Chains A and B, each alone.
Chain A
Amino acid sequence: VIVGVHGLGAVGIRAVRELVGTEDVERVVMRSSRPSRVAAARESFGDRVAEWTDPDAPVDVVVVATAPGTHVDVAAQHLAAGRSVVSTSDDPDDVRGLLDLDASAAGLTIGAAFSPGLSCLLVRHAAAALEDVRLIRVAMVGFGGPECKRRRAEARSGIEPAWRDGRWASAESGPPELTWFPDPVGALDTVGGALIEPLLLHRALPSVPTISASLVVPGPTTRVTSLTTRLPGPARRERTSEPLGAVRVEVSGRRDGVDAMLVYAVVDRPAVAAGAVAAVAATRPEATEPGVRALGESPDVLAMLHELARRGVKAATFEPAT
């Protein structure tokens, strides 16, 4: 396939990096409003990438990694030209607008990043191991780039509804709750209601009665270390000064007739992991099938998690001592 990457910010450039090493990708073309970023990418990746200048170039799938708030217009343009789209936006308004787009001629995959994205894959994986799933909780910390960090800081006022007892309910900001992420992130305060995961996960798992999400909001009392994690993913790849982030999901239901809860998490640099998720999503067969889908609705979540692990994005599970 020929893959386009539209937007070369923190996530877009990581998606390019992942795509150039992908066997099934014949060519990667890049478009950015900042020519210096295209030039820098060409310097880094050589003739494996090209600037996307011809609007009629035959591009099969476009990873849209432009600034939050722009994805609806950008995706609509590509879909109208017959190109499938994979959106990395975590902006709730973007996500809602994307869900309303006409994707009758090409595929549109929404929420293919760290959170949403990896978070939804972990939930699907956990839910598949349980019967009668009753509760899903997602928590995350981190940001992909400066624009994402700014949005996260504003998220205190951006309360998204949660799915509670089978209906949409206003999320209560309430007092922060400590959430235990894997080391070295550890325990951090999270507040509810700032993430779009409930909307996307409800599409993927409509029978689950309660889905909520919470977020560590950047502030003076929250800090994420940039020490190398004990999980192997980020350590073997590029070392940057970007802080680590984490997603953690709790899924409760029944297994073998008794109540059970599965807890999965990933610690990684959010932009690095988001780039890998977007690249994997863009090369899945379903990416080019017409229709709108959230990443968490993908038919083969395990294959994606397996491929992400191969690329260094490794999931962990919390196991109580026996």
Chain B
Amino acid sequence: MVLAGLVGAVLRLRGTGGKPPQNGGWRELSGDELR
């Protein structure tokens, strides 16, 4: 019970929303994309 409470507290502290990107990645915009 105490452990569940602690986990719940951490989740509240760290936030509940947000879905991590499942795949893909960051790529620098090329010069052609800024013309």
The reply to whether B17 and A177 form a contact with Cβ atoms under 8 Å apart is yes
Residues on B with C-beta less than 8 A from A80 are none
Contact with A along B1-35 (1 / 0, CB 8 A): 00000000000111111101101111111010111
Q: Which residues of B contact A231 (CB under 8 A)?
A: 26, 28
Please tell me which one of the listed residues B16, B17, B20, B31 contacts residue A309 in the complex, with CB atoms under 8 A apart.
Answer: B31
Chain B, Cβ-Cβ closest to A221 = B13
Given contacts A176-B14, A177-B17, A221-B14, contact A302 B28 (CB under 8 A): no
* List of A residues within 8 angstroms of B21 by Cβ: 180, 318, 320
Q: Is the CB of B15 within 8 A of A177?
A: yes
Q: Does A17 contact B (CB under 8 A)?
A: no
Q: Is A150 an interface residue (CB 8 A)?
A: no
Closest partner residue, chain A, to B33 (CB atom):
A317
**Identity of the chain B residue whose Cβ is nearest the Cβ of A305 in the assembled complex:** B34
Q: CB < 8 Å: which of A187, A189, A319 contacts B24?
A: A319
Contact at B18–A309, with CB atoms within 8 Å?
no
Q: Write out the residue numbers on chain A whose beta carbons fall within 8 Å of the beta carbon of B24.
A: 318-321
Contact assessment for B17 and A316 in the assembled complex, using a CB-CB cutoff below 8 Å: no
| A317 touching B27, Cβ below 8 Å | yes
Asked whether any CB of chain B lies closer than 8 Å to the CB of A306, the reply is yes
Determine whether A179 belongs to the interface, using a CB cutoff of 8 Å to chain B: yes
The reply to whether B18 and A179 form a contact with Cβ atoms under 8 Å apart is yes
Partner of B18 from the list A177, A182, A264, A317 (CB cut-off 8 Å) is A177
Within 8 A of B (CB), among A305-319: 305-306, 309, 314-319
Interface pair A264/B17, CB less than 8 Å apart: no
- A76 to nearest B CB, angstroms? 35
Q: Identify which of B16, B29, B35 contacts A317 (C-beta below 8 A).
A: B29
Q: Let me know if A306 and B16 touch, CB within 8 A.
A: no
* The 5 nearest A-B residue pairs measured at CB: A178-B18, A177-B17, A176-B15, A320-B24, A321-B23
> Interface residues, chain B, CB within 8 Å of chain A?
12-18, 20-21, 23-29, 31, 33-35
Q: What would 5 more interface pairs be, CB under 8 Å, given A231-B26, A318-B25?
A: A178-B17, A180-B20, A183-B26, A306-B34, A316-B26
Q: List 11 A-B contacts (CB under 8 A).
A: A182-B26, A189-B14, A221-B14, A264-B29, A309-B29, A309-B31, A314-B29, A317-B33, A319-B25, A320-B21, A321-B25
